[in-house]
Amino acid sequence: TTMAIAQGPPIDISCPVRSFCALVDQAGSASFQVNGSWRPTARTQSPLVNPRPISGIDCTSSRFCAVSTYDSTGLGGLIGWNGSRWRPLAANSAQLDVDCASPTFCVSAGAYNTIMVWDGQQQSVASVPSGGTLSAVSCPLPSFCRVVAAWGSVTTWDGTGWGAPSVVAPQVFNTKDIS
């Protein structure tokens, strides 16, 4: 298997099926593995629009991926892949991780204990009683999500609202991923 040359250190990878994976790097590039072969690296953002660092990727298929971005000023957004090109989906506050149950339901862990929910057309913002700065999100279903925050607290979405945080790993300062 031939590997694509990443433009920077790899940040995250998503493989929704065995025949397709997407890898993103700190330089804002993405590489796709299709049927065992890596495709050339492609930029997720135009270098002319002050690209933001990538913090995560999640794909539901080879026709939909979402990338979360952030910068040091607290800005960021969501970028989408439609199977042939990247396009901005939302630009608002920093988004530190993303997970998608479908192309019409993605949840991003944001700065300042916020969650951004993508509905296929726009993003809405919600506050989460997290017990710390959010760092990772997992949403296998629109009716079930979990976010993890600093100091090991986990908060659950049940499809109607966010519950109280539960401390599961108090000895851990910052957890990057949850699955």
* Per-residue model confidence as pLDDT tens digits over 74-92: 888 899 999 988 888 988 8
Question: Nearest CA to 115 among 96, 91, 100?
Answer: 96
Residues 6 or more apart whose Cβ sits within 8 Å of residue 3:
38
**What is the tens place of the pLDDT at every residue in 153-167?**
888 999 898 888 888
Nearest to 58 by CA among 98, 94, 91: 98
The model carries a pTM of 0.85
Provide the pLDDT for residue 11. 87
